[in-house]
A and B are shown apart, each in its own frame.
Chain A
Amino acid sequence: AQSVTQLDSQVPVFEEAPVELRCNYSSSVSVYLFWYVQYPNQGLQLLLKYLSGSTLVKGINGFEAEFNKSQTSFHLRKPSVHISDTAEYFCAVSKVGSARQLTFGSGTQLTVLP
């Protein structure tokens, strides 16, 4: 079975500063990796996904993530955050070959301060 660990439950950061949200996964087989964002009182929205190929993946709203197989990580980054980026961010993984079953991390609350 896979598991996902999001190392920080809360990340406060000032507006226009860079941010990194950390995600590590555990799996005995190849995986697909995802980042979702949840704005207050809304459902989850896909930010970006890694399927194969280039390890640097660009998503919406200026976010990007890098897949590191040796460190089993998929950290999310943004060079300059805005107040509107305040939300909860979830990392998720699915097995190649069983792609319907997503396993989610516990989430990281990003709060952007003025």
Chain B
Amino acid sequence: NAGVTQTPKFQVLKTGQSMTLQCAQDMNHNSMYWYRQDPGMGLRLIYYSASEGTTDKGEVPNGYNVSRLNKREFSLRLESAAPSQTSVYFCASSERLAGDQETQYFGPGTRLLVL
């Protein structure tokens, strides 16, 4: 069980370039998430997907698009990267436990630098 995996681990982009961050989970979870982590700000939700075929905006969706390709995979795309998108990006997935509570499990992160 690899849990949540992310590729790439590191990426350097020039302003205006595009790229896709990949995330996969092998825990058969329904829900998946993309967060960004910036110094002194904790993690902020970019997009999430409650189930295959659905996606919803989080707190900071501008400049990003997502695709829930299947139950396992949830990708994050930057169409035209900006320096403000320099951050560490985390993917997570969650399972539903008793009632409506869900526990999220995180991947190792992708460190992105936009020059």
Contact = CB atoms under 8 A, between A and B. Distances in A.
Interface residues of B, number: 27
Given A43-B4, A49-B103, A100 B108 contact: no
Interface string B93-108: 0100011111111111
B48 A43 contact: no
Contact of B102 (A36, A99, A104): A99
A17 interface: no
A93 B100 CA distance: 14
Contacts of B44: 104
Nearest to B109: A43
Contact of A105 (B4, B42, B102): B42
B41 interface: yes
B103 to A, nearest CB: 6
A32 B33 CA distance: 18
A101 B42 contact: no
A77 B31 CA distance: 31
Contacts of B109: 41-43
A106 B106 contact: no
Given A44-B90, A45-B106, A102 B45 contact: yes
Given A44-B106, A51-B99, 16 more contacts: A32-B101, A34-B103, A36-B106, A42-B108, A43-B90, A43-B107, A46-B105, A49-B103, A90-B42, A97-B100, A99-B101, A100-B102, A101-B45, A102-B43, A104-B43, A105-B42
